[in-house]
Structure 1
Amino acid sequence: MIAEPAEIQCVLGLDVSCNTVTLFDSCTGRCLTIANEADALRTALQPYQGTATLAVCEATGGHEDTLLGVLLELAIPAHRADPAKVNAYIKSFGKHAKNDPIDTRWLRSYGGDRVATLARWQPAEPCQQKLELLVARRLDLVAMRVQEQNRLKAPRSSLIADNIQAHLAEINRHIDALNQQIDALIAESRSMVLRAEALRSVPGIGQVLVPLLLAVMPELGSLNRRQIASLAGVAPHPKDSGKASWHRSTIGGRRQIRPALFIAALAACRGATPLAIAYKAMLKRGKPKRLALTALMRKIITIANARVRDALRQKNEIMPISA
């Protein structure tokens, strides 16, 4: 049985590296270093199974996967913290010293202070994990292609033009292969097929943006319009203080989404669609183009969120109820 936030009595700080995991126990004050291997971690964490314990570690790009898998196996609730938030928390105390034992104590303190609000880590579906990896790799290759194209246009590039063009051809082959893998992966999951169909019905969202949204924003359909706009980085945040009031700005959000939504907004503002009509109406009212496009980006993601939500609800309504 997993303890509720109010029942948590012990917080474990776990600093993860490639080869080791440093553990600090808030109840006993014990600090130890464990090999980052399933058997060693299982042995060290076994005593906490069934206790009112919360484990807190940072996202480390995958080195924490073994640890989280063992915690899930032992039914110990865990929180995978955002390193930026943990660093901001540490800086708020004016501290700068850093090593593995110190980091574990800060993770323990961070978890203890926020135990009631920290989201418990849940593993993503295998299909979702694969999609995230494929889409991330595709983004890397597209960025690499842009770099090579810029090098090809540069002055004095004639000597290496053949080499660049050969590399571009190879990158394009890899991107095409990834596109096929992504399409096949989406087709394997009924839930992803439903969400993809809902996203394609939104003006401006094309074949490239659909897998990106599925991979980077799996929360689509489960949040309200304000939350989803903030997650996409297109929500206007106030900047007021006393009598001073500045223009609201859009900051934060997931960095991969805004550039793709901008392209979607450019596509949606053309033609006679409702989004294009809304965009032209904003321009007639004197809104700057940049502001109108940002508003269009926000409309696109909120419409996408609503249509995915409706598609998932319809799926649940038509599912047969077992006796």
Structure 2
Amino acid sequence: MMAEPTEIQSILGLDVSRDTVTLCDGRRHTVTVANEADALRAALQPYQGTTTLAVCEATGGYEDILLGVLLELAIPAHRADPAKVKAYIASFGKRAKNDPIDARWLSRYGRDRAATLPRWQSADPTQQKLELLVARRLDLVAMRVQEQNRLKAPRSRLIADNIRDHLAELERHIEALNAEIDTLIGESRDLALRAQQLRSVPGVGPVLAPLLLAVIPELGTLNRRQVASLAGVAPHPKDSGKANWHRSTTGGRRQIRPALFIAALAACRGDNPLAVAYKALLKAAKPKRVALTAIMRKIITIANARVRDAVRHQNEIGQINA
């Protein structure tokens, strides 16, 4: 059984690279081992069954082997946001950097914040595959936009045929990914239920629904303020003393906001309550940009509420049947 936050007594900082992992248990001494399961298992074995919290950074997948071994040994772990760790180190005015130094900083970061750090949990395989498919689709769509822009450039006439061929190939790959995403969602009872509820929200179509499922898997478990903040549509105050500035919407998961903008445009052009709300905002002399942002916020909060209610209802039926 994994130790609870209040039981943690020591912190293990782990700096991960492609080939190696450097460990620091809070003292000055560090050790570097190969980023391989057997080597990591041998190095971490002494910490099994102890009140230790392991802290590593997200490194784009190079930490997966380490996290798998930590899970196998039942050692609680936190996968830290590199930006937060960097800001933490900068707050001390330190600039020196190498693997042992980074491991020591991770250990210190974990020691100072152990009580509030969320514990890493392995992702559901279906959810993990959906995230990868959606991320790949985003990459291909971005490539398509780049190629379309190149095709319009005045100096691209000599290579226009090549660009068109590449665009056609990208379209084929995107359509194949769309089909694979739809099949994956259809084969999962939970994902299918969530997708059905998302598609019932005005403006949410076949592209945004899988994107929300992949990028905000917490959908349905958050309150309206939390989900708006994750989507990057929460108005944050910028006040100081007697100065009161306009609140701006910043942060959140960067993939969501552009897609929500398109969804808001579609919803505002339809015949639905969101379109009525948009017209009411314009009538109240709100700028179009502000009104659209408000509709974006309504879309994500409605989606969150509908997923929450549907999952809760499904669980209640499951308990009754059991």
TM-score, scaled to structure 1: 0.98
Q: What does 1:146-157 align with in structure 2 at a 5 Å threshold? A: 146-157=145-156
Deviating more after overlay: 149-158 vs 297-306: 149-158
Letter of the 1:14 counterpart: L
Q: Distance in 1 between matches of 2:275 and 2:259?
A: 18
Partner of 2:66: 67
Q: What does 1:160-239 align with in structure 2 at a 5 Å threshold? A: 160-239=159-238
The one-character-per-residue Cα deviations of 1:59-109 (angstroms, maximum 9, x if unpaired) are: 000000000000001000000000000000000001110000000011001
Q: Distance in 1 between matches of 2:256 and 2:270?
A: 23
Partner of 2:86: 87
CA shift, 1:11, in A, is 0.1
Q: What does 1:262-301 align with in structure 2 at a 5 Å threshold? A: 262-301=261-300
CA shift, 1:30, in A, is 3.1
Give SS of 2:251's match.
Answer: coil
Give SS of 1:222's match.
Answer: coil
Query: Is 2:16 the partner of 1:16?
Result: yes
Letter of the 1:153 counterpart: K
Give SS of 1:180's match.
Answer: helix
Deviating more after overlay: 128-137 vs 1-10: 1-10
Give SS of 2:191's match.
Answer: helix
Q: What does 1:89-168 align with in structure 2 at a 5 Å threshold? A: 89-168=88-167
Give SS of 1:13's match.
Answer: strand
Q: Distance in 1 between matches of 2:321 and 2:103?
A: 47
Partner of 1:311: 310
Q: Distance in 2 between matches of 1:30 and 1:101?
A: 9
Structure 2 unaligned segments of length 5 or more: list them: none
Partner of 1:5: 5
Q: Distance in 2 between matches of 1:9 and 1:242?
A: 41
CA shift, 1:272, in A, is 2.3
Structure 1 unaligned segments of length 5 or more: list them: none
Q: Distance in 2 between matches of 1:222 and 1:124?
A: 16
Q: Distance in 1 between matches of 2:229 and 2:247?
A: 13
CA shift, 1:3, in A, is 1.2
CA shift, 1:321, in A, is 5.3
Give SS of 2:24's match.
Answer: strand
Q: Distance in 2 between matches of 1:93 and 1:131?
A: 40
Partner of 1:249: 248
CA shift, 1:181, in A, is 0.8
Percent same amino acid among aligned pairs? 79
CA shift, 1:29, in A, is 4.2
Q: Distance in 2 between matches of 1:78 and 1:231?
A: 23
CA shift, 1:320, in A, is 4.4
CA shift, 1:158, in A, is 1.4
Give SS of 2:170's match.
Answer: helix
Q: Using a 3 Å threshold, how does the CA distance of structure 1 residues 256 and 168 change in structure 2: closer, same or farther?
A: same
CA contact (8 A) 2:28 2:104 kept: no
Runs of 4+ displaced beyond 2 Å:
320-323
The one-character-per-residue Cα deviations of 1:284-306 (angstroms, maximum 9, x if unpaired) are: 00000000000000000000000
Letter of the 2:41 counterpart: R
TM-score, scaled to structure 2: 0.98
Letter of the 2:307 counterpart: V
Q: Distance in 1 between matches of 2:165 and 2:115?
A: 55
CA shift, 1:157, in A, is 1.6
CA shift, 1:187, in A, is 1.2
Letter of the 1:170 counterpart: E
Q: Distance in 2 between matches of 1:242 and 1:157?
A: 55
Letter of the 1:9 counterpart: Q
Partner of 1:48: 47
Aligned residues: 322
Give SS of 2:253's match.
Answer: coil
Q: Distance in 2 between matches of 1:251 and 1:139?
A: 21
